[in-house]
Structure formats: C-alpha cells, structure tokens
C-alpha cells in the first residue's frame, strides 16, 4: 500500500505486487504528510507527521467514514516544549471487548535532542515518560498508571500486533548497559511486557534487527547494513522465530540465507513466506525464503510505502 500525500492510497496485490485500485482517504489533507500507524479490520490509523501524535485519524476508506482524534500533549514532567517531546504511537484491536485502541508514549525532550540518537541519554527521564490509551468504546483517553517507565523507545510507531499485544523496539538499561529489547503492550490488561532478543551473537556483530510477523509468530530478521564500497557482495541474513509467544527458550533460528544486493530497509513479510526490503539503490526487492531467490519489484515509488494487511470492511467508528 502506497500513500500519495494529499491524494489517496494505492492498494497493491501481495502476490503480483500490481496495483489493484486506489482507495481515497475520506478527507483531504492539505500540506501534510500522513504516517500509517497501523491497519486493522479495514481501519487505518494515521497521523500527521508534522503534528505527530497530536493529530490522529482513524478512517474506513471503504465506506468513507473517519474520526479525527486531536489530543494535545500535556502534563509531561520535565518537558519544556511539547514540540520537542519524543512520541511513539501504536494501534490495535482487542476482540474480547470489541475495542480499537491507540497507545501514545511521550518522553520529555529539548530542542537540542536528536530523535535518532539511540544512546540511552533519555534513561534519566524515562521515569517521566507518559503513557496514554485511547479507547473507541469510551471515545476518550486515559493515563496508564505505573510506578516507572524503564525503557527508551526506538520506534516511533508499532511494528506489529500479535497475541493481543502491540510491539515496538526499545532500549532497556541493564547494569549500566543499553540493551535493545522488544516492548509489548497488552491491549486487554494494558500492561507492558519486555521480550528479550534471542542469543544471535553467533550470527555476527552489529546486526540490524527488524521485528515482524512470520507465519503468525513474533519473529526477528537480522542483517548487516550494506557495504557501499562493496554493494554487490553477498550478504547473510537470518530469521529467528519465537515458536511460543513470550517464552524465551522457544526462539529458534529458522533460516540462514544470502541475498544480493544488500538489504537496507526491511519492510516486512507477506503471507507467501517472502520478505520485501529496500536495497541500496532504493529499489524494492522481494525474497522468497523457500527458494532463496530474490527479484526486483517493478513498483513505481509514488509516496510512502506501508506494508501491512488491508481488507475492505463495514466497520463503523
């Protein structure tokens, strides 16, 4: 699915990657770039990148219905200016109560902060991180009360929803060392759970990590960033799958494979056991695990690509 700013979404078939049709968003944003936070049951959760986290839309393009959820950022201890705060969003559906929820995590920052500085400089202010949840049932926000927030967020939007939980990558301070983990927020009991990565050091050092969904399981895709001096050199990639959700010992290395050209940015998995990634030339490549083959996709890059499931539905807001 491609978002074309100010216009529409182009829906692509995941088998042929050909355009199926365009779906118009039911409002016409002017001078804004929309970020897809998540997709669920035919609903899209979007936010304006320039007012990220404060202007949120939930829309059903099929029936052309949408809701604007404006919620200013306030009450963040240690924040001098909400425009400098570091915001992370998540979107998911809890079927037991038929409730669509938006999670907003806000950490205080200042104008000199680099949002992509992944050191744990914000660890000292982690205790001031504010967590809020929007419920479609109550049509309101509420604070999630906790004794302290022990993580610094890496992702600004959720990567996947599985086992009734929304997931992001985050940093945790462990004995004065910054450790990257998977942070999960359960949509039912509204609590956080930390999931450690598998022991992948044997695969190499400084591997880039991408969490995703593979055959219904929480999974980890590992690779080295492309060497621009040797862009055509074969590159090893690894796939780890958590066979039993939340059980660390169930992490299993399922696949080791080589790809060329190198992976720069994984976008996610399809239901056909394929991964789509962007290569060093910014072309999209699809790689099939069973055959260990890769091919370039002839997709015209018109806007921002969001890889996720979408289906038409009659869900009302």
| Any domain includes 62 | yes
Query: pLDDT at position 83, please?
Result: 63
**Residue 263 phi, psi dihedral angles, 5° rounding:** -75, 135
Asked if residues 51 and 61 have their Cβ atoms less than 8 Å apart, the reply is no
The tokens for 82 are 């909400």
| Any domain includes 5 | yes
Query: pLDDT at position 125, please?
Result: 53
| Any domain includes 120 | no
| Spatial distance between the Cα atoms of 249 and 64, rounded to a whole number of angstroms | 45
Domain that holds residue 4: 1-70
Of the candidates 152, 77, 79, which has an alpha carbon nearest to the alpha carbon of residue 117? 152
Asked if residues 256 and 236 have their Cβ atoms less than 8 Å apart, the reply is yes
| Spatial distance between the Cα atoms of 77 and 66, rounded to a whole number of angstroms | 32
| Any domain includes 245 | no
| Spatial distance between the Cα atoms of 20 and 230, rounded to a whole number of angstroms | 37
| Spatial distance between the Cα atoms of 143 and 148, rounded to a whole number of angstroms | 13
Asked if residues 286 and 271 have their Cβ atoms less than 8 Å apart, the reply is no
Query: pLDDT at position 103, please?
Result: 96
Query: pLDDT at position 118, please?
Result: 40
Q: What is the mean pLDDT of each run of 10 residues along the chain (317 residues)?
A: 53 71 65 80 85 87 84 68 77 94 86 46 63 94 87 89 95 81 96 94 83 90 71 76 96 84 74 77 76 71 62 73
Cβ neighbours of residue 11 closer than 8 Å, sequence gap 6 or more = 1, 19, 20, 21, 22, 23, 310
| Spatial distance between the Cα atoms of 64 and 92, rounded to a whole number of angstroms | 20
Query: pLDDT at position 307, please?
Result: 65
| Spatial distance between the Cα atoms of 55 and 43, rounded to a whole number of angstroms | 17
Residue 125 to residues 116, 168, 253, Cα–Cα distance (Å): 17, 19, 36
User: 2-4 and 8-12: which strand pairing?
Assistant: antiparallel
The tokens for 316 are 């009302």
First-to-final CA distance of the chain: 22
| Any domain includes 283 | no
| Spatial distance between the Cα atoms of 258 and 256, rounded to a whole number of angstroms | 7
| Spatial distance between the Cα atoms of 218 and 242, rounded to a whole number of angstroms | 6
Asked if residues 162 and 245 have their Cβ atoms less than 8 Å apart, the reply is yes
| Any domain includes 43 | yes
Query: pLDDT at position 65, please?
Result: 83
| Any domain includes 220 | no
Query: pLDDT at position 3, please?
Result: 47
Please state the domain count of the chain.
Answer: 1
| Any domain includes 64 | yes
The tokens for 128 are 């001031």
Q: Kindly list the strands in the beta sheet with 99-107, ordered across the sheet, starting from the edge strand earlier in the chain.
A: 86-94, 99-107, 130-135, 140-143
- Locate tokens 């009991």: which residue? 189
Query: pLDDT at position 263, please?
Result: 72
Q: 130-146, pLDDT tens digit by residue?
A: 899 999 999 999 999 88
């Amino acid at each position: 699915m491609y978002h074309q700013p100010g216009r529409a979404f182009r829906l692509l078939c995941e088998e042929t990657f050909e355009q199926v049709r365009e779906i118009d968003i039911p409002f016409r944003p002017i001078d804004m770039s929309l970020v897809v936070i998540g997709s669920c049951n035919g609903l899209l959760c979007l936010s304006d990148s320039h007012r990220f986290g404060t202007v949120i839309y939930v829309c059903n393009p099929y029936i052309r219905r949408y809701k604007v959820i404006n919620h200013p950022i306030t009450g963040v201890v240690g924040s001098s200016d909400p425009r400098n705060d570091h915001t992370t969003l998540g979107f998911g559906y809890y079927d037991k109560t038929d409730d669509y929820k938006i999670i907003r995590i806000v950490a205080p920052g200042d104008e000199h902060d680099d949002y992509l500085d992944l050191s744990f400089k914000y660890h000292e202010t982690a205790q001031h991180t504010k967590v809020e949840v929007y419920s479609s049932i109550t049509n309101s926000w509420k604070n999630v009360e906790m004794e302290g927030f022990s993580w610094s967020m890496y992702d600004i939007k959720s990567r996947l929803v599985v086992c009734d939980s929304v997931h992001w990558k985050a940093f945790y301070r462990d004995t004065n060392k910054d450790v990257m983990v998977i942070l999960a927020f359960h949509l039912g009991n509204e609590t956080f759970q930390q999931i450690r990565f598998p022991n992948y050091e044997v695969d190499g050092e400084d591997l880039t990590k991408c969490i995703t969904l593979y055959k219904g399981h929480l999974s980890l895709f590992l690779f080295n960033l492309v060497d621009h001096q040797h862009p055509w050199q074969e590159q090893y990639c690894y796939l780890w799958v958590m066979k039993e959700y939340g059980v660390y010992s169930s992490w299993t290395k399922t696949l080791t494979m080589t790809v060329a050209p190198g992976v720069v940015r994984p976008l996610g998995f399809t239901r056909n056991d394929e991964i789509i990634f962007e290569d060093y030339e910014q072309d999209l490549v699809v790689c099939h695990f069973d055959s260990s083959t890769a091919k370039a996709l002839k997709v015209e890059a018109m806007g921002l690509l969001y890889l996720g499931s979408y289906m038409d539905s009659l869900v009302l807001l």
